[in-house]
Structure 1
Amino acid sequence: MTPARLARAQGGFHVLSGVWPLVNRRSFEAITGPKADVWLLQTVSGLLVVIGWAQTRGAGTDAGDALARRLGIGTAATLLVVDVSYAVPGRIRRIYLLDAAFQALWLTAWLRARP
């Protein structure tokens, strides 16, 4: 997959996953579990939307693809570590292991994509 296509795909994923809890927190929490700190949920969601927007808007230029790659790798690695660190011991629902799998796929795709 080209870096531009990968940036758009992961960026879209980030935008959708970030918007979901902002638009319908009830359905998000029905699947992922109740959140004690709504402000933290909103902060992470907002950051995912911004990261995704930057990835999709920058895609297609050398500088934009490079930025999307750094954002993509950094975000995927961070979310993967957090998902696994908290889902495995049961601090958060195991559904986050599904997100960890997605993050591992994004990370692998970026590491295989030509820089």
Structure 2
Amino acid sequence: MDASETNAAGTDTAQAGATAARGADAHLAMAQGIFYVGTGVWPIVSLKTFMMVTGPKVDGWLVKTVGALITVVGAALYRAGKRNRVSQEMALLGAGCAVALTAVDVYYVARRRIAKVYLLDALAETGILVAWGALARPLARRA
């Protein structure tokens, strides 16, 4: 018996597994994209409400710049997921941003430079990172 088998519906099980993995990475990219677009646009649209939740900031222009960059990353992830074209590079972008934002959140909360509310973002980013990690094997097999 070879590595590829057919299930009761006549579908190649190896192909079905690959399709399921593609679906999962597309959904993850879209979810992360929505999260990033929402959190990225927020300080651009209303810096006042953003600072009401996250605490005062010295340089509003810098907060808006970071928001713009997070928005662009989110839009790219969402589009890749929507088109079902989540490459290893897009997965790296998603996971890498989650690592970077988690590190910044934890580091600066620990030094009391930013408010503890950023730990909620670190928790969300960690969840995103765990999800990308769970998909790492199916993505590597597709390469």
Q: Same fold (TM over 0.5)?
A: yes
In structure 2, how many angstroms separate the alpha carbons of the residues matched to 1:32 and 1:90?
13
Tell me if the contact between 1:83 and 1:97 (Cα under 8 Å) persists in the aligned partners: yes
In structure 2, how many angstroms separate the alpha carbons of the residues matched to 1:20 and 1:40?
14
Tell me if the contact between 1:84 and 1:97 (Cα under 8 Å) persists in the aligned partners: yes
Tell me which amino acid in the other structure corresponds to 2:66: V
Tell me if the contact between 1:69 and 1:110 (Cα under 8 Å) persists in the aligned partners: yes
**Residue of structure 1 equivalent to 2:128:** 106
**TM-score normalised to structure 2 length:** 0.75
**Residue of structure 2 equivalent to 1:74:** 96
Stretches of structure 2 lacking an aligned partner (at least 5 in a row): 1-22
Corresponding pairs, count: 113
TM superposition outliers: structure 1 runs of 4+ over 3 Å: none
In structure 2, how many angstroms separate the alpha carbons of the residues matched to 1:106 and 1:98?
13
Secondary structure in structure 2 of the residue aligned to 1:105: helix
Tell me which amino acid in the other structure corresponds to 2:92: R
**TM-score normalised to structure 1 length:** 0.93
What fraction of aligned residue pairs are identical, expressed as a percent? 42
Greater relative CO (CA pairs within 8 A, separation 6+) = 1
In structure 1, how many angstroms separate the alpha carbons of the residues matched to 2:62 and 2:52?
17
**Residue of structure 2 equivalent to 1:15:** 37
Shift of 1:90: 1.0
Shift of 1:70: 1.2
Stretches of structure 1 lacking an aligned partner (at least 5 in a row): none
In structure 1, how many angstroms separate the alpha carbons of the residues matched to 2:106 and 2:114?
10
